Amino acid sequence: MKSERILVDIDYKADSKEKMVKIAEDFAVKMYYTSKILGLEFRSMEVYETAKGFHIYLDAESKRPLTPLEIIIIQLALGSDYKRELFNLRRARAWLDGEDLDPNWNVLYKYKYNHGRLASNEHETEYSRIFKNHAFSIYTEKMRGEG
C-alpha cells in the first residue's frame, strides 16, 4: 500500500452548526464514493478554518502510487477550489512533458499575505472540529457498511 496526501481547499463556510454538519455529511459521502470507486482508504483527516472556508488534509492508502493527475481529480471530486486545481494542473503539466515535478506542487498555504499584511491563516475552530469529527465518523461508518 502507498500512502498519499490529498489536499482540499473549500472556499465557503456555514453560518450555523446545522449547516456545518450538512457540509460535513456531504463531504463524507464524497470521501466514501471516492474510496469505493478508486480503491483507496482515507486513514486520517485534519481540518482548519481559513478566512474563506476550510483546508482539509487527508492521508489515504492506495494500492499503487497515484499520479499527479489522479490526485488533482480526487481533490476536485472532493470539492476543492477549481482555480487551485487548475494551477495544480499547470504545475503537473511539466511532469506530463517528462520534466521533474516540484515536490511542493500540491500545497495549501497556512498563511496568505496581501500587500505584506496577513490576509488569512489556518486555525482550528469549533466549526473545523465539527467538520472533521462529523465527516470522518460518517465516512468510517459507511466504510464498515453501517451507513
* pLDDT of 146: 64
Q: How many domains would you assign to the chain?
A: 1
- DSSP H or E stretch at residue 97: none
> 3-58 pLDDT, tens per residue?
999 999 999 888 899 999 999 999 999 999 999 999 999 999 999 999 899 999 99
Q: How would residue 147 be classed by pLDDT, with cut points 50, 70 and 90?
A: low
CB atoms under 10 Å from CB of 13, counted, come to 15
What is the tens place of the pLDDT at every residue in 59-96?
A: 999 999 999 999 999 999 999 999 999 999 988 988 88
Segments forming the whole domain that contains residue 127: 2-143
CA distance 9 to 18: 21
